Amino acid sequence: MAEVLSIPKGEWGVLRVFAVDPHRADLSTWVRDLDAPMNGELAHVLGQSDIPPQSVELLRLSDVAALGLRDFLIEGHDVRPEALDERFSWLDQLTGYVLIVHPAIAADGPVTFRDLPEGVSFVGAFAQAQAAPPPLSLPEPEKPQTLSGPTAPPGKKDAGTAAVLALFMVLLLVLVLVFVLGVPIWPF
């Protein structure tokens, strides 16, 4: 590959596609089992020391042959149809495998692709239709609230105090009648 491809840190909404020739002896060993975890192998093929999980997708083109690579990118990865106009009709003619590099690969810092191995070639960069996610905004700090036990509604609190006071007064009256005035409470 003559040119060096770079993805700036935090770029959003551009997929990069690389064609992979599975007949190359050095590439055929890691394209055999698509379900095996292979972040290390994909990083090595792309000339990186490490790649974030799910930032690179290896796709067997025979798996999407009925749909075609162009429509797969439009429908499956939200690539703008105008980015894949008739100039890219040859995408459906590709065979073997492709690597779809998502923008998340550059989430932690810029990524540069250089010295790709024989059999890996850059196909193109395609803009996605989705808008960039809004910046994360944290809620403003809330004022601390002093919590106390449950409180009775204002009307009920006053009624409860009045009831206790009335009960106390009735008991006091009964005590005065019985002990001071000698009025019997029950007949003997």
96-144 pLDDT, tens digit per residue, is: 888 888 888 877 788 887 777 788 888 888 888 875 555 666 566 666 6
pLDDT reading at 1 higher than 50: no
The average pLDDT across 2-24 equals 79
Nearest to 48 by CA among 124, 99, 123, 10: 99
Question: pTM for this one?
Answer: 0.61
Residue with tokens 């105090």: 161
Burial call 134-145: b when 16+ CB within 10 Å, e when fewer: eeeeeeeeeeee
pLDDT reading at 158 higher than 50: yes
In the chain, domain spans = 5-127, 156-188
- What is the three-state SS of 74-132? HHHHCECHHHHCHHHHHHHHCCCEEEEECHHHHCCCCEEECCCCCCEEEEEEEEECCCC
The predicted pLDDT at position 169 comes to: 92
Residue 147 vs residues 70, 125, 138, 144, 151: alpha-carbon distances, Å:
60, 57, 25, 9, 11
Query: Could you report the per-residue pLDDT of 33-87, keeping only the tens digit for each?
Result: 555 545 666 776 777 777 777 788 888 888 888 888 888 888 888 888 888 877 7
CA distance 29 to 32: 6
Q: Which is it for strands 14-20 and 97-101: parallel, antiparallel or unpaired?
A: antiparallel
pLDDT reading at 181 higher than 60: yes
